[in-house]
Structure formats: structure tokens, C-alpha cells
Amino acid sequence: MKTDIIIEIINFGRQNLIGNNNGMTVDEINNHLIRKGLIQDNLNDKAKVNMFIGQIFTSTGVNDGTLMLKVESCFAILEYDELNEARRSAKSANCWALTALIVSIISTFISIYFLVTPTEIKQEQIEQIILSNEKLNNKLVDPLNENFNKIHTDLISIDSTLNKTYRQTVTKKY
């Protein structure tokens, strides 16, 4: 017999607990397991299943042989479902962690490659940079030169006027 027979028996009991308030019989459980291919239709397999049924189900109290899941069995299947969900979540988390690790390693190697590999600048690029700098300097320096020349001319004019005024003042005193 397969190990998942007990889980299948409890799941079948849970489904019938929800859908059928009258419970189920041993024959219904055996027929379900035969349909699922978990047991053969022989007395040996049915006897093994009956051993499990005594541990999983309790009588409904009616003398027609109907059974209901024990409370412990309900909790056991809930714990089993939670365990399977935790396994799926852990597997998914491991896949994402592995993906992140691979991306990180690849990024590190790419960074190292670009760090070690010298960057080549073509002569045309250097000339273009120099030309751009010269144009920028001309745009900035030319207006400054014009202003400087104007200020210089104004200062010469002021100096000339002051000298002239000073000479006239000195000559008048004598």
C-alpha cells in the first residue's frame, strides 16, 4: 500500500463531512480508494484499510455502520495541509533566493570586467571634447573680454579727465 492512503482516507472523510451530514460507510471508503487506484479490490487490502479506518473515524451513533471523522483526524489533515503549504512556500522562496544570488554573481562579474578593462577614447572623441571646451570658453570669455575692454577704456577716460582737472586746479592756484 502507498503511504498517501491515510491522507486520502482523511480527505475523503473531510469531503463527506462537509457534503454529507449522514457520514459514510466502510464500503464507500474502500470503493473510493479502489477508484483512486490506491488499493486493489481484495480482502487483504481492505483489511489494512479497515485498520486505518478505526484510528481515523468514529461511529455516528446510528447502528447503520456510518462513520464520521474524529476531531483529531480533522486537526491532523489541517496540519498536513499547512505543512504542504509551508513546503511550497519554502520551495518558492528558495527559487527566488537562488535567482537573486545568480543575478548578484553575474552583476559582480560584469562590474569586475568593466573595472579591469581599460576604457579607450578615440582621438576623434578627444578632439571633439577639446573643440567643445574651446567653444564654451569662447562663449564665456568673449563677453568678459568685451566688458573688460569697455571698463578699461572708461578708466582711461576717467584718468585723463582727472589729470586734466588736476592740472587746471594746480595752475589756477599759482
* Model pLDDT, residue 117: 86
pLDDT of 23 above 80: no
What is the pLDDT averaged over residues 38-48?
Answer: 82
pLDDT of 28 above 50: yes
* Model pLDDT, residue 18: 61
* Model pLDDT, residue 170: 72
Contact status, residue 8 vs residue 38, Cβ threshold 8 Å: yes
Please, which pLDDT band fits residue 174 given cuts at 50, 70 and 90?
Answer: low
pLDDT of 19 above 60: no
Whether this prediction's pTM lies above 0.85 is answered by: no
* Model pLDDT, residue 1: 38
CA dist., res. 21 & res. 13, Å (int): 11
* Model pLDDT, residue 132: 87
* Model pLDDT, residue 8: 85
What is the pLDDT averaged over residues 40-53?
Answer: 82
* Model pLDDT, residue 21: 62
Residue 104 vs residue 135, higher pLDDT: 104
pLDDT of 2 above 50: no
Please, which pLDDT band fits residue 62 given cuts at 50, 70 and 90?
Answer: low
CA dist., res. 146 & res. 66, Å (int): 110
What is the pLDDT averaged over residues 114-129?
Answer: 86
- Mean pLDDT: which of 5-19, 80-94, 155-169 is highest? 80-94
For cell 509551508, name the residue. Answer: 86
CA dist., res. 59 & res. 121, Å (int): 87
Please, which pLDDT band fits residue 46 given cuts at 50, 70 and 90?
Answer: confident
